[in-house]
Amino acid sequence: MKKLIFFIEDDLPTIEVYKISLESAGFGVQVIESGNKAVEEIKKIAEEGNKKPDLVLLDLILPDINGIEVLKEIRKLEETKDIPVFILTNYSDKKLQKAGFDLKSEKFLLKTDYRPQKLAELVKKRLK
C-alpha cells in the first residue's frame, strides 16, 4: 500500500513539480492548498478516523493561517501528534525555523535547495 504524504502548499507550479516527483517515487500525495483546510483534514483523522498521512510536507506561508499554526494543530491531537513533518518553505528565517523545531518538525527545507528528485529521495529515506 502506498505511503501517504500530505502536501500542504498553495503555489500551483510548486505543487505540480513536487507532486509528480513524489508520485513517481511511489507515494500517494494529498495536496491541501490552505491552512484551514489542512486543519480540517487533520481533525477528520481524529474525529472521523480518516487515513493518517505517513509524512507531512508543510509550507509556512499559506493564504489564510500560517504553517506554524497548522503544525500546532497536528501536535495537539493525540492521533496526529507523532506524524513526521518536514517544513518546505522559501523562508530562511531563523525565528520560524526555531518555531518549527520547537514543534518537533524534523526538517526545515529551503525549496530552492531541494529540487523535486532530491526531496523525493529525502522522503523515501525517512519513510524506509
Partner 1 sequence: MSFTFFQISALITAFVSFFLGISVYSRDRKSRINLFWLFISFSISMWSMGLFGVVFSEDRTNAWFWQHVLDVGGIMIPVLYFTFVLYLLKKEKEFLRTIVLSWIVGIILIVLSFTKLFKTDISSKFGLNYWIDPGKLYFLFPLIFTFFIALSTFVIIKIYYQTHDAILRRQLKWLLFAQVFGFGGGITNFFPQLFNLYPFGNYLVILYVVCISYAAIQHRLFNIRLIATEMLVFAVWVFLLVKVAFSKDQVDLIINGGLLILVFIAGGLLIRSVWKEVKQREKMEQMAKELERAYNVEKEARAKIQELDEAKTQFLMATQHHFRTPLTSMRGYIDLILTGTYGKISPKVKEAVLKLETSTIRLIRIVNELLDVSQFQLGKKVVSLEAGIRIEPILKEVLDELKFTAKSKGIYLKFERPENPLPPAMADVEKLKVALYNIIDNGIKYTNKGGITIRCRVLDNELEIMSKDTGIGITPEEKGGLFAGIFERGKEAKKVFTTGRGIGLYISGQIIKAHNGKVWVESEGRGKGSTFHIRLPLS
C-alpha cell at 61: 506561508
Based on CB atoms, which residue is closest to partner 1, 45 or 120? 120
Does 27 help bind partner 1 (rule: CB under 8 A)? Answer: no
Instruction: Please pick, from the candidates 81, 90, 102, 121, the single residue that binds partner 1 as defined by CB under 8 A.
Output: 90
Kindly determine how many residues on this chain lie close enough to bind partner 1 according to the rule CB under 8 A.
23
Tell me the closest approach of the beta carbon of residue 91 to partner 1, in angstroms: 6
DSSP the chain: -PEEEEEE---HHHHHHHHHHHHHTTEEEEEE-SHHHHHHHHHHHHHH-PPPPSEEEE-S--SSS-HHHHHHHHHHSTTTTT--EEEEES---HHHHHHHHHTT-SEEEEGGG--HHHHHHHHHHHH-
Based on CB atoms, which residue is closest to partner 1, 9 or 41? 9
Q: Which of 7, 124, 101 lies closest to 59 in space, CA to CA?
A: 7
Site for partner 1 in 99-118 (CB under 8 A): 110-112, 115-117
Tell me the closest approach of the beta carbon of residue 116 to partner 1, in angstroms: 5
Does 67 help bind partner 1 (rule: CB under 8 A)? Answer: no
Does 35 help bind partner 1 (rule: CB under 8 A)? Answer: no
Work out the widest C-alpha separation in the chain, in whole angstroms. Answer: 38
Binding residues for partner 1, rule: CB under 8 A, are 11, 13-14, 16-18, 20-21, 24, 61, 90-94, 97-98, 110-112, 115-117
